[in-house]
Structure 1
């Protein structure tokens, strides 16, 4: 292995170098980080909420194949993302990658866009969690309670866990994730063995004409939104045991597990009823389809367990996004682009405690606004905020792919053709296709209002532009040095 000539190192700018007291610490392995990001993806929530919508409004019984297609696109994205991770020592994820590849203005613009995006997805989960918990309590004979009170209670618990060391959150998420995945895997296994309640196991996901039927664009839009959260592996870089190995392993593992779980579980839902009946049931009652399906296959006890685990699935996603947002604020505080207090770690917990508290305050403010304006927690809070997050994350991933291509073309720090050119280019093409389909179908995703779709798009554009303009007021908004310790020249990959 030979290395090209080293590029001159540029000293880290003031505010970006991390003093000992301003660095997060931890010993998270790939498994712990995978728990974090898979929990953020909320597997049971996707099976319960997204699968019925994909069946009814997307490409029908072939919708499970759409998860596999999206997983392939995201794996192509991950190749360049992981190749560049060894040259990005900061834990700023999209922000750090885009800044190193495209410059300070796009980097800080993406940071502001990421803050808005992840705040939106967390707000969506608060609305869905409050409504779901209220429904479960009433189902078992309890009183009707406003959704926002449940959301506020969940905020307090997430805030306490976010204030403490990351390994505590990792343990909580591990337990919750195992529970929600287990009930679905049991359901999948029973359907695979018995053939379900209908005419037998579905084969629609293997038929090209079925995959291309209906509205493939809407199907891709719903499927790609279900992967939000996997890209946050790099945010936990400082708390990883061996970040240069742990982060790439966690990224690939999370994507493969999420993609396989979604594809198989969606296929099991279809197979449980049969192609035509599954699509009909999804259109008639999408909100209760998964619970009624699990009840029919596993019995009343299985249905009751699924209802409870749907609540814990939402809380796990909430906690994961809380941790991600806190670490984004921490990275920006360290870089001097946000108040310096955000970049301070707790002396005992080694957590971004100030950023965590600020993030909790922002979430509380949003819950109050939603409550005062009387917004419906599902059809408005969840739908609007989830749509915003989908558009924002796709934009960030496309920018990151572009940044990877530009970074390696300029630095020549890694000469592997597949890792630095081909895979990122294919990933960028796939992501731009998904982004175009999402924009075209965006009004559908948020309830059918073109005016609202335009307003949400404007918010995201303003966030990015605001960050780009703010970079001019910050002397050194991002580190600009290129790490040459890990320069790679593997000619056999060409």
Structure 2
């Protein structure tokens, strides 16, 4: 099968194929795709996990600024991402964009990096899920079982839903998402209405608060909270009107998630007071508690806290399911391009889903969970934190490569630029520079995230880079470049 590689010699031009490329189809609208993307962001999980870690290990009361910075940088990134979307006809998100902008070799490297990045965060979420579900069961008087037991149980359910039609997953994620956003909005509102512990102020956004601890930690966990936002492009083939749906869903997802994270993290700070919040959250984490649930009980009541604890588990489930769908579609599109075994590009006749790819993804997650469980790692520090660190480095690396791809594509295709300097050059350049700064902040504070030695932390941080190099140097990459050059020659001839 001839690989379908978008060419760089004109807007949206693609190489010829020897046979039709397998494709999914569906009728997802802006709301449906937003549900998939925001569910992957897992708002309740991020506030109760990444947000608290950003406060405890980062600048304390200044932690909301980390989410503000990440949201702003991703909005800048989205400008070039959306502007290039009409010229990237294939689903596949980062892989497809980098393939068009920088060529097949870099595209394959990005594909490997993306698979490692999303697999890492999904496996990390299985660790978090196993811990949270066991905590919930024990809270209600049930038996305490190993985290991996619950992880295996959830993996089975996710595998069944992932095998089915995407619209079923969208409905499940939509319901879970509405409930989890609702409880956090209620908590935020009550905190601000009651005036918090020390009175509502803008202390969190002051220079003193931002510089009170490592801002890089807050930025790292903030980016981890946005993981999966570019999945708007992954579901391109299943969108009702992709040229309109994808841009709208991308902008809305980043804006909604960015504002939600920033305000909710700020509410936690105000709930305990800027002068006390770092100590309160740190003590809660040290005792295996959850300051978000404690805040809910303090301001709204124990019944509300219990309901939020249940929704924390459903939020984790929605996140894992969403990542499962994203990874299976990454594999599906790579197989459709001849980069993975073509069996992975099979479409189920009745479910219209990438069922084989979904099964392979479930098997991959199962193997990794078995390995991590066999190593006796702690589900939060050993599994979740380490995997979140790997995925954050991978995500920012992909964001940088995609921004460079946008710049290079419009530099080479002047007709596609159509006189638009701001959206095709200026903003993507700012995005590239901003992402490089963010990557520096993340790497310079990486040992604090993993809680491991410099050597181990460096090995974990290098995993996405190694995946990129493997893709760049693989024999498949060389064949793709040769095939692309041959097609260019035949066209020019």
CA deviation after TM superposition for structure 1 residue 459, in Å: 2.6
Partner Cα separation in structure 1 for residue 254 and residue 467 of structure 2: 28
**Which whole-Å CA distance do the structure 1 matches of 2:171 and 2:483 have between them?**
33
Q: Tell me what 1:461 maps to.
A: 465
Q: Is 1:12 aligned to residue 15 of structure 2?
A: yes
Q: Distance in 2 between matches of 1:82 and 1:55?
A: 32
Alignment of 1:398-437 (within 5 A): 398-412=400-414, 413-414=416-417, 415-437=419-441
Render the CA deviation track for 1:139-163: whole Å, top value 9, x for unaligned. Answer: 1100011111111111111111111
Give the one of 367, 371, 374 matched to 2:373: 371
The change in CA–CA distance for 1:477 and 1:297 in structure 2 (over 3 A counts) is farther
- Please state how far the C-alpha of 1:9 moved relative to its aligned partner: 8.1
Q: Does 1:441 align with 2:440?
A: no
The alpha-carbon deviation at position 11 of structure 1 amounts to 5.5
Q: Which residue does 1:200 correspond to in 2?
A: 199
Please give the alpha-carbon distance, in whole angstroms, between the structure 1 residues aligned to 2:274 and 2:13. Answer: 59
What's the CA shift for 1:477?
9.3
* Corresponding position of 1:252: 251
Contact 2:33 2:249 survives alignment (8 Å): yes
1:172-228: CA deviation from partner (whole Å, max 9, x where unpaired): 0000001111110110111121113x1211321332332233222222222222111
CA–CA distance in structure 1, aligned partners of residues 186 and 298 of structure 2: 13
Question: Is 1:472 aligned to residue 489 of structure 2?
Answer: no
> Structure 1 479/207 Cα, relative in aligned 2: closer, same or farther at 3 Å?
farther
Task: Look up the match of 1:238.
Answer: 237
Judge which range, 244-253 or 207-216, deviates more. Answer: 207-216
Deviation at 1:478, TM superposition (A): 9.4
Contact 1:335–1:477 (8 Å) recurs in 2 = no
1:40 aligned to 2:40?
A: yes
1:306 aligns with 2:308: yes
User: Are the equivalent residues in 1 in contact too, given 2:11–2:413 (CA < 8 A)?
Assistant: no
5+ residue gaps, structure 2: 1-8, 489-493
1:397 pairs with 378, 399, 421, which one?
399
Q: How far is 1:476 from its partner?
A: 6.3
For 1:295 and 1:18, the matched residues in 2 are separated by 57
Contact 2:84 2:406 in 1 (8 A): yes
User: Is 1:229 matched up with 2:250?
Assistant: no
- Is the contact between residue 98 and residue 110 of structure 2 (CA under 8 Å) also seen in structure 1? yes
The 8 Å contact of residues 18 and 334 in structure 1, kept in 2 or not, is answered as no
Alignment CA distance shift 1:100-1:268 (3 Å): same
Structure 2 residue matching 1:275: 3-state secondary structure: coil
- Which deviates more from structure 2 when the two are superposed, residues 130-139 or residues 224-233? 224-233
Contact 1:96 1:478 in 2 (8 A): no
Secondary structure (helix, strand or coil) at the match of 2:49 reads: helix
TM-score, length of structure 2 as denominator length: 0.92
User: Is residue 59–residue 214 contact of structure 1 (8 Å, CA) maintained in 2?
Assistant: yes
Distance 1:475 1:65 in 2: 43
TM-score relative to the length of structure 1: 0.92
Partner of 1:91: 91
| Structure 1 residue 116 corresponds to structure 2 residue 121 | no
Structure 1 stretches lacking a partner, 5+ long: 1-5, 483-494
Partners of 2:12 and 2:89 within 8 A in 1: no
**Is 1:271 aligned with 2:267?**
no
Q: How many residues align?
A: 473
